[in-house]
Structure 1
Amino acid sequence: MSGHSKWSNIKRKKEITDAKKSKVFSKMSRLITVAARDGGADPDMNPTLRLAVDRAKQANMPSENIDKAIKKGSGALEGAKFERVVYEGYGPYGVAFMITTLTDNRNRTVSEIKNIFSKAGGSLGTPGSTSYIFDSLTFEPSFRIALESEEQLKKIENLEEALEDQDDVQEIYSNYEL
């Protein structure tokens, strides 16, 4: 029994679950804030806000945090001003990506996304560089790029995981298939 204690085991598990919850709650909070800012603070009159609140409740986000995010979005509370920004780029093997973000600092977000793309062997494009590939409403690609090996798939999945780990990233769209 030497070398470990019950509390250290609990603490380690708790740290992992708390980090996951924190990441989800911060994304939900941003969605709620922007939805409240764009369409009003009443979930009955704002379907985007209602959907964001429902998703937050499904993720077990505390009601206090939801109310605080709505108040920030409606201007009742001071807080960071989030804006929706779409980034476009190409990953390895010519796979096109569109990344939607909610950020309070465009410069930080663009440098982080550019860094992720360059580490994965891709490049961040200019506005319009990949948007012609995706439908403007559904983000369905007009054509797909077939990956030929598990190694290629793994490289693309690693890029997607790195992008998802970035706090500001909300949605990732790409045009690859197996």
Structure 2
Amino acid sequence: MAGHSKWANIQHRKGRQDEKRGKIWTRVIREITVAARQGGPDISANPRLRLAIDKAKAANMPADRIKYNVDKASGNLEGLTYEEIRYEGYGIGGAAIMIDTMTDNRVRTVAEIRHAFSKYGGSMGTDGSVAFQFKHCGQLVFAPGASEDKIMEIALDHGAEDVVTDEDGAIEVLTPPAEFEKVKQALEAAGLVPELAEVIMRPENTIELAGEDAERMQKLLDVFEDLDDTQAVYHNASLPA
């Protein structure tokens, strides 16, 4: 499985996210807007907002910009209303794809998603057509060489569901979404800082793609990532790093 290791894929994903750093602020602002509007501005009572603010800080967004967007979403300032919509479909080789969007124009967004599927070799599915192949969970990933015993002890004591050591040595901590923040804080308090920490839709199984199929799949995923309304793209393809 050379070239398809979990750690290499995670690093690849993180690298591509870093390349799109300019778009991250836009996505985080949308997430802050929706989280604050739905759950209020108090981060102690709104875990979704707390997670969005953590993402904003990780993306080096200034504190005053974060506060401005929380205030704006809480009704202290006027702003747009975003709608959350998930689209599902199939990529190259039947790989499952889900695209989470936040949009102020549903007609525009669905047209862009449908066009991308059609133009780059995929096919758009109906609601629920691939969602069953993913699990909603918190994921914290540690680099090969991290202390498996220490991570496992702390994570399981604070509500994690599972700790998985992949063949390449990377360690994944999986949590229920509601326990993600508690587990993350406990690990970081013990000096165990994950390379990647987010609440995701994690594929239950993966489909390996190589060569031209992998290139076509990556192109399709890149197109979805580059759409203005995209918040996150999930898929079950294992691609060479």
- Asked if Structure 1 and Structure 2 have the same fold, meaning a TM-score greater than 0.5 normalized by the shorter chain, the answer is yes
SS at the partner of 1:100? strand
Distance 1:162 1:41 in 2: 33
Does the 8 Å CA contact 1:91/1:117 hold for their aligned counterparts?
Answer: yes
Residue aligning to 2:85: 85
Q: Does 1:145 align with 2:145?
A: no
Residue aligning to 2:216: 155
Q: Deviations over 1:36-86 (max 9, x none)?
A: 012111123212211211211221212332122112221221111112211
Q: Deviations over 1:6-62 (max 9, x none)?
A: xxxxxxxxxxxxxx6542221111011011012111123212211211211221212
- Unpaired runs of 5+ residues, structure 2, are 1-19, 138-199
SS at the partner of 1:43? coil
Q: What amino acid is the match of 2:52?
A: A
Distance 2:80 2:125 in 1: 27
Q: Does 1:102 align with 2:102?
A: yes
* Residue 108 of structure 1: how far off its partner (Å): 1.0
Query: What CA RMSD, in Å, does the superposition of the two structures yield over aligned residues?
Result: 2.0
Residue aligning to 1:50: 50
- Unpaired runs of 5+ residues, structure 1, are 1-19
SS at the partner of 2:135? coil
Q: Which has the higher contact order (CA 8 A, sep 6+)?
A: 2
Q: What amino acid is the match of 2:201?
A: F
Does the 8 Å CA contact 1:29/1:65 hold for their aligned counterparts?
Answer: no
**Identical columns (%):** 48
Distance 1:117 1:84 in 2: 20
TM-score normalised by length of structure 1: 0.80
Distance 2:124 2:225 in 1: 16
Change (3 A) 1:28 1:140: closer
Query: How many residue pairs are counted as aligned between the two chains?
Result: 159
Point out the structure with the larger helix share. 1
Question: Which structure has the greater CA radius of gyration?
Answer: 1
